[in-house]
Structure 1
Amino acid sequence: MSPQRYFLAQAYNNAWANHRLLTACRKLSADDLAASRTSFFPSIIHTLNHILTVDWFYVSALEGRPMGYAAFDTEIPFQDFSDLEREQRAIDRRLIDHCRQIQTDELSRIVVIPRAHSEQRERTDRLLLHLFQHQIHHRGQVHAMLSGTPVAPPQLDEFFSVGEEALRRADFAELGFSETQIWG
């Protein structure tokens, strides 16, 4: 697998995992989304907003138009779940588009990320890996918090297994994804 295809597959998997998680969370009431829970962030809606704002922070930097800390001006920019879901899907598409266009020689390009008192300089490939890991980490927290709600947490621990294509077919149809887009 080429490096470009690897990062593109990661971006598609990230969007698919977000889709599965958001589909489950959409079934929750506003009270269940905002209820105090044990985790790094105190609620499901807070954690989902954090996933989104960190995506804004890093994807904008990867695109060469860093938002910097403006991404975090509002800690919970979307109390309304449908708005949050719409924005998460949009940033997932931007990340997919970025990874689709990236060339192998660009993976070593330095991305400048404005921090409060400095600039972080990170290779593109390392920043992408960091972003994917960050999202996995916080999706896992939401997954665990869902266990304390009336909605069962979705399965998130798969990575496009060939033998399980039928299990993701409906999700892919909703997302407009195809196996060919991901694997070529």
Structure 2
Amino acid sequence: MIDREYVRLMARYNAWQNHSLYYAAAGLDAEAREADRGAFWGSIRKTLAHLAWGDQIWIARFDGGDGPAMGAMEAFEAYDWETLWSLRPELDARIAGWAWSVADDDLKGDLTWHSGFLGADLTRPKALCVVQLFNHETHHRGQVHAMLTAAGARPDDTDVPFMPDEVPEWR
């Protein structure tokens, strides 16, 4: 289904796109980031908070490290703009570190975890779960991109072939 090169490509894409969206959002005032714009999670910040929380859940399942210290709904309050700004580059580095350490064999077999949302244990193919991590990010970042554009911000292009060789550094 997928291999380590896919995982590495998507980890780079993830970091590039997050950098773009966060810098575009930083150009808005707090009121614009908090405005309910009709997306599933409402605002730009809340959608970014949902993404950070979800990324922490998934990467913890893959690398065995810590997940978020709160539930999904609590993340909306815990992850204010300043927290997100400091958390995002650390989280992207964690995802990249895992991606560059993963071997093709690590993507085989099943992953079992407890879903708090469903209140049940689930088992799915590991490769499918990795695709879910990156697909979930892309889905909600698309929403953020649309909200930012509507607010007058200018995030970068989103096409994979236009990704730079190096992801810009956070300043």
- Name 2:167's counterpart in structure 1: 172
Matches within 5 A, 1:21-170: 21-65=21-65, 67=67, 70-72=70-72, 74-76=74-76, 77-79=78-80, 81-116=81-116, 117-156=119-158, 158-159=159-160, 161=161, 164=162, 168=164
Q: Is the 8 A contact 2:16 2:168 kept in 1?
A: no
Gaps of 5+ in 1: 176-184
Identical residues among aligned pairs (%): 25
Taking the aligned partners of 1:39 and 1:106, their CA distance within structure 2 comes to 35
> TM-score, length-normalised on structure 2?
0.86
Taking the aligned partners of 2:149 and 2:66, their CA distance within structure 1 comes to 36
**Structure 1 residue 11 displacement after superposition:** 0.8
Gaps of 5+ in 2: none
Cα RMSD (Å): 2.2
CA deviation string 1:26-48 (max 9, x = no partner): 11101100011111111111101
Q: Is the 8 A contact 1:107 1:125 kept in 2?
A: yes
**Structure 1 residue 152 displacement after superposition:** 2.6
Distance 1:68 1:94, change over 3 A: closer
CA deviation string 1:82-126 (max 9, x = no partner): 320221111111111111111111111322222132212222211
Helix, strand or coil for the counterpart of 1:122? Answer: strand
CA deviation string 1:65-91 (max 9, x = no partner): 463884526131222x23202211111
Helix, strand or coil for the counterpart of 1:172? Answer: coil
Q: Is the 8 A contact 2:53 2:68 kept in 1?
A: no
Q: Is the 8 A contact 1:147 1:153 kept in 2?
A: yes
Q: Is the 8 A contact 1:107 1:124 kept in 2?
A: yes
Q: Is the 8 A contact 2:20 2:155 kept in 1?
A: no
Helix, strand or coil for the counterpart of 2:52? Answer: helix
Taking the aligned partners of 1:115 and 1:17, their CA distance within structure 2 comes to 27
Taking the aligned partners of 2:27 and 2:153, their CA distance within structure 1 comes to 7
Taking the aligned partners of 1:133 and 1:97, their CA distance within structure 2 comes to 19
**Structure 1 residue 146 displacement after superposition:** 1.2
Taking the aligned partners of 2:141 and 2:11, their CA distance within structure 1 comes to 15
Taking the aligned partners of 1:120 and 1:85, their CA distance within structure 2 comes to 32
CA deviation string 1:107-157 (max 9, x = no partner): 11322222132212222211110111111000010111112213234321x
